[in-house]
Amino acid sequence: MNELDTIAAEIIKAINALPQVQQSVTQDTNIARDLGLDSLAVMNFVMTLEDQFDVSISMDKLADIKTVRDLADAIAELKRHQTGT
Q: To the nearest whole angstrom, how small is the minimum distance from the Cβ of residue 70 to another protein?
A: 18
3-state secondary structure of 67: strand
The number of CA neighbours under 13 Å toward the Cβ of 84 is 2
Query: How many residues in the shown chain lie near another protein by CB under 8 A?
Result: 17
Which of positions 22-51 make contact with another protein (CB under 8 A)?
Answer: 38, 40-41, 43-44, 47, 51
Asked if 54 is part of the footprint of another protein (rule: CB under 8 A), the reply reads: yes
Closest CA to 11 of 43, 37, 48: 48
Task: Give the C-alpha separation, 36 to 7, whole Å.
Answer: 22
Q: State which residue, 24 or 38, has the beta carbon closest to another protein.
A: 38
In the complex, the residues that contact another protein under the rule CB under 8 A are: 38, 40-41, 43-44, 47, 51, 54-61, 82, 85
